[in-house]
Amino acid sequence: MASFDAIILGAGAAGLMCAARAGQRGKRVLVLERAEKPGKKILISGGGRCNFTNIGAGPTNYLSANPHFAKSALARYTSRDFLSLVESYGIAWHEKTLGQLFCDGSAKQIVAMLLEECARARESGGDVEIRCGEEIASVEHDGLFKVTTSAETSTAPALVIATGGPSIPKMGATSYAYELARQFGLKLVEPRPALVPLTLGGEEILFRDISGVSAPVVATANKASFAEAALFTHRGLSGPAILQASSYWRPGDPLLVDFLPDQTAEWLMDAKRTSPRVGLKTLLREALPARLADILADRIGIEGDLGNVPDKALRSAGERLKRWAFHPNGTEGFAKAEVTVGGISTAELSSRTMEAKRLPGLFAIGEAVDVTGWLGGYNFQWAWASGVAAGDAL
C-alpha cells in the first residue's frame, strides 16, 4: 500500500494545476486518471489550439448558486498569472475577440507545460506521479483517504476531486464527482448542461430549413444577454450567442433574440420615410442573410411596400425583430454541452482553499464544483484558479 501527501482524482486542467502547485511545495502527490492520457479536454479545446484563459475573467463571468464564491480564488490567481506561466515556456499566443487567448500552435503545448510543471516538483523535494488508464474501484475514509484501483491501493490524508462534470461523455466524462460528494455527505446543486445548443419544435421547426445560416445577434435568457453570432442548425439554435445564453436558460423560458442589434425598434418607420417603395423582405435582406430574412419576413406577414403599411404595424414588426421570442423545447444535452452548470455545492467548501467544511482533507475543484464560466476561456481560468487554491492548501 503506497502512501502520499495527497491523491488527486482527475488529470484534467484543474487536477494537473493542483498537482503541480502542491508538488512544487514539496508534497508527494498521486494523480489518478481514468483516460489513457492526461488533459484530454484541454487537447480538443479551442479547435485544438486551447482557449486557455480570458484576459477579462472576473466573478461576473461565472454562474453559481453563490455568485461570490469564485471571487477569492480568481483574485489570487488571475488570467495574467496564467499568461505569465504560458510565456515563461515560450508558448506563442494570440488574442481573439472578447479577450479570448489561444495558443498560436497547439493545445498540446499547454498539456506539456502542465506536465513539466508537475515534473518540476522534484526540484522542491516533492513528487507528482500521474497514472492514466486507472479505474477507481473504491474510495474510503478512516482518518486517511484510501483509494483502490485495479492496480493497487493508495492512502493519503488529503483527497482532491477533480474529475469534472458529465459534459462531453464521449471524452470519458462521467458524474463520478457527484457520486463521491454524496458518499461523503456533500450537497449538490442540480447539474444541467451548459454552453449547449438549444432544440426547437412545433411551429419553430421551420427554422431548421435554414440550417447552416448564421448572423450576429444579441441573445437573452433570464436577463443575461450576449452579443455574438447565432447559428441555425438541423435541430434548432447554436453559435456562441446561443451557447452563452443556454447556461441561463431554463425549460419553459423564452429565448429572446435581437436580429438587428445595430438598429432601433423605429428602424422600419424610418425606412418607410426614406424608402417608401421598398418591401420588408428586401429591406431585411440588406441587413441579414437572405434565407433568414425571408423566413422572418414571412412570419411577420407584412406585404407590399413599406409606404402602404401603417406605422403601428411597422413599429410592432420592429419591436418583434428586436425581441424575437423562441421557445426551445430542450437542449442537446450533456453529449453536446461544453460544460455543466451545478455540481458540488459551494456552501460545502471553503472559498479560499476548496476544502470541504465538514470533512477536512477533502477538496473539490474545477468543473466538479458549482462554478460555471462563460464561453471563451473562463472555465479554464476557474480550473487554474481553483487548482492553485487547493494546491496551496494541501
Q: Per residue in 357-391, pLDDT tens?
A: 999 999 999 999 999 999 999 999 999 999 999 99
The per-residue pLDDT of the chain, averaged, comes to 97
Closest by Cα among 183, 193, 255 to 219? 255
Contact, 282 vs 255, CB < 8 A? no
% of the chain beyond a pLDDT of 70: 100
Contact, 161 vs 64, CB < 8 A? no
176-202 b/e (C-beta count within 10 Å ≥ 16 → b): bbbebbeebebebbebbbbbbbbbbee
% of the chain beyond a pLDDT of 90: 97
pLDDT of residue 171: 82
DSSP state of 169: G
pLDDT digit string (tens) for 54-70? 999 999 999 999 999 99
Long-range Cβ contact pairs of 103-110 (< 8 A, separation 24 or more): 103/46, 103/49, 103/50, 103/52, 104/49, 105/49, 106/48, 106/49, 106/50, 107/42, 107/43, 107/44, 107/45, 107/46, 107/48, 107/49, 107/50, 108/43, 109/50, 110/39, 110/42, 110/50, 110/52, 110/86
Q: How far apart are CA 394 and CA 167, in angstroms?
A: 28
Q: How many CB atoms lie within 10 A of CB 390?
A: 32
pLDDT for residue 211 is more than 90: yes
Contact, 137 vs 150, CB < 8 A? yes
Contact, 30 vs 134, CB < 8 A? no
For residues 205-209, average pLDDT: 95
For residues 182-197, average pLDDT: 97
pLDDT for residue 272 is more than 90: yes
Q: Which three cell numbers stand for residue 139?
A: 474510495
For residues 318-340, average pLDDT: 97
Q: Tell me the chain's radius of gyration from C-alpha atoms.
A: 24
Q: Is 351 helix (H, G, I), strand (E, B) or coil?
A: coil
Q: pTM for this one?
A: 0.95
pLDDT digit string (tens) for 149-180? 988 999 999 999 999 999 988 888 899 999 99
pLDDT of residue 168: 87
pLDDT of residue 328: 98
Using alpha carbons, list the distances in angstroms from residue 32 to 130, 132, 208: 6, 6, 43
Q: How many CB atoms lie within 10 A of CB 75?
A: 11
Strand order in 145-149's β-sheet? Answer: 2-3, 153-156, 145-149, 136-141
pLDDT for residue 184 is more than 90: yes
For 99-129, the DSSP string reads GEEEESS-THHHHHHHHHHHHGGGGGT-EEE
